[in-house]
Structure formats: C-alpha cells, structure tokens
Amino acid sequence: MTDQQTLALRPGGPADAPTILRLLDDATAWLVARGRTGQWGTEPASADPRRVAQADTWAAGGGLWLAVLGDRPVGALVVGAANDFVPAPTEPELYVNLLVTDRAHAGLGIGGRLLAHAAELARDRGVRLLRVDCYAGGDGGLVRWYTRQGFTPTDPFTVERPGRDPWPGQVLARRLD
C-alpha cells in the first residue's frame, strides 16, 4: 500500500453514525447482489428506523473504531457488552458488537486488523476473552472466516423474528492468554 492507502484506525463518535450506516448499506447491497439475503435482508440499514437508532447508539457508546484509508472510512468495529440474545459470558470479556468492512477493499485485511485492535483493547482492559457473534446460515463462510481469525465456535443460537425466517447465529470466542 502507498502512504495514501495506509490503513489507520481512529476512534469514532456520534458524528460517525452515517458512516456505520453507509458501510452496512454497502455490505447489504453486496450480499444482495450475490443472492445472500439471509444475513441482513434486502433493505438498506439506513431505511430501517431500528437500524438507524442502533447506529446512533453504537456511534455514541464509546466503543466505535473506524478503519480509514486516506480520508475514507472503510471499516467499522464496535466493542462493548454482549448482545442480549447470546449466552452470558462466564468471565469478563470484550464483545464485538459490529464488524463491517467496505467490500470494495476486500483482501486488504481490514476486518482482521480491526479484530486485532479489539484484542489489543481487551488486553489493555485486563480482559482475556474476546467474543463475537455472526450469521451462521448460508454456506457458513462467515463462521469459517472468524475461525481463521483465531476464534473458536462456542454457542449456536437462533433469533426468532416475527413474520420472517429465524436468524441462525454462532457465538465465537478467542482466548487472549
């Protein structure tokens, strides 16, 4: 990568909610174009009031980090407490609530760099467990990707969605010893 393309990480804040939504919208469009609608559906996150509120909460919550190439955010990481729909941790942890990258920059290791940063944040806090959940449907590719990043699948779960198909999920954990 040239200097213009050096990946930098910066903390995010409330003004970055539109960036989260842009990244989610672009990722959703990428998935839809490939017929993979089970993960995030077919509609842009920016058109869903629930997702807009979620992006606002993430941006204001103190756990948002953005990966930036030049001056363009190309990835977002949100860390904090585990989601309500996954089994509670058995020890202190840092939880990856969101990891999304710009598919136009696939292959640059952006997601892996953001996860490495999450591990650094956990270690800085004296926490030795990093967990994440992801979509476990389709061909299971996302679970395999997290496994390649050093995570181990732990608890499968299902989110029931009234009027829609259930959402199959997988919790994964990474020990930071």
Local confidence band at 164 (pLDDT 50, 70, 90 cut-offs): confident
Has this prediction a pTM greater than 0.95? no
152-159 and 129-135 strand pairing? unpaired
Instruction: Please state, in angstroms and as integers, the Cα–Cα distance from residue 2 to each residue in 19, 69, 102, 152, 165, following that order.
Output: 24, 10, 18, 34, 45
Q: For the segment 18-71, what is each residue's pLDDT rounded down to a tens digit? A: 999 999 999 999 999 998 988 888 999 999 999 999 999 999 999 999 999 999
Spell out the domains of the chain, with CATH numbers in brackets.
3-175 (3.40.630.30)
Looking at residue 136, what is its pLDDT? 94
Residue 1 pLDDT more than 70?
no
Q: For the segment 99-109, what is each residue's pLDDT rounded down to a tens digit? A: 999 999 988 99
Looking at residue 139, what is its pLDDT? 87
Looking at residue 110, what is its pLDDT? 97
Residue 144 pLDDT more than 60?
yes
Long-range contacts of the stretch 150-158 (C-beta < 8 A, 24+): 150/174, 154/87, 155/86, 155/87, 157/85, 157/86, 157/87, 157/133
Residue 175 pLDDT more than 90?
yes
